[in-house]
Amino acid sequence: MELAHESLKQADSFVDDIADEQIKQVIDSGNYRASSDYNDAVGFDFAIITVPTPLEESMPDLGFIEAATADLAPHISPGATVVLESTTYPGTTEELLVPILEQGSGLKAGEDFYVGYSPERTDPGNKTWTFVNTPKVISGINEASLENTFRHVNIALVNELAVFAHQLGVNIWESIEAANSKPFGYMKFTPGPGVGGHCLPVDPSYLSWPVRRKLGANFRFVELANDVNDHMPDYVVQRLLQPNRGNTMIIGGIFFFQCGSTGGIYPPREGLEVLPSRSDRRDFGFSRVRMAQIQQYED
C-alpha cells in the first residue's frame, strides 16, 4: 500500500490502462490526492472499496474487505455513500459490509448513509472499451458474477469440445469459424489453455459458494466448468510433448495481456513453464505477446 500511494503521488501509474499523464492532470486539478491515512477520508461524500478477495482452497477470503470496511466506518458522516466493488459472492454487501459500517459509525445504513455494490467491469488492454466509456451498474444483484460465470461455462464447453475434436480428427478452429458465419443465435468462444485474469477464474466460485452454503446444493455447471478449465494447461502440455513435435518450441501468450500488472491468475504460465522439466528437449522460447495476436493452428 505504501509503495502504491507513493507512486501515485508522483503521478506514476502502475495500472496499464491509466497513463501517468491522466494521474498528473487530476492531481494538478486539486481533485485527487493519494493517501494511505484513513484520517484523510473524514467528511467524504463517496467511498469505493476495491480490495483483493482471493480464494483459499475454494473458500472466499474476505479479510481485506473486512479490514478496509472497519477502517473506513468511523469516518462515515450522514449522507455519505459507500460502494463495494471487490469481487465477492451475492449477499456480501448486506451481510458483511453493512453491519461493520453501522457498528463503526454508529449510523443506520439506508437512513443515515447509503451502501451499494458495483461489479467491476474492466478488460485490461482493451483500447476500445475503457474505464471512461464502459457502463457501470451500481447496486442490485451481483451482475459481475453472472457475467463471468456465463463466460466461464462457455469457455469450458469449447475447451472440452477441442479435446474431443482432436481425438476424433476434427479441426475445431474450422468448425468454430463455420459456426461463426451464422449471423444470429450464436456467440463465438474459442478454446485455450485454461482461463486467466483477475475475475474470470474467481467470480464463478464466488457465485457457487453461497449456493452450497445457504442451499446445500452444488452449482454443477460451475463446478464442472472449473474442472474442465483447470485441466486445460496440463492437456496443452501433453499435446506439446507428443513425439511428433519438433525439437524447438516457442510458447507465445504466457500472459493473456501484454503486461501482467493486473495481478491476475495465469494458468498457461503455471502449466507451460514446467515444460523444460517434463521434457528431454531443452530449447524453449517464451513470449509475452497477446494471445489475440497469435494465429491459432490445429497441428
**Catalytic choice (199, 200, 232, 254):** 199
Q: Is 199 a catalytic residue?
A: yes
Q: 167 with 105: CB under 8 angstroms? A: no
CA angle centred on 17, ends 11 and 21, rounded to 5°: 30
Residue recorded with cell 510433448: 241
Q: Which residues are catalytic?
A: 199
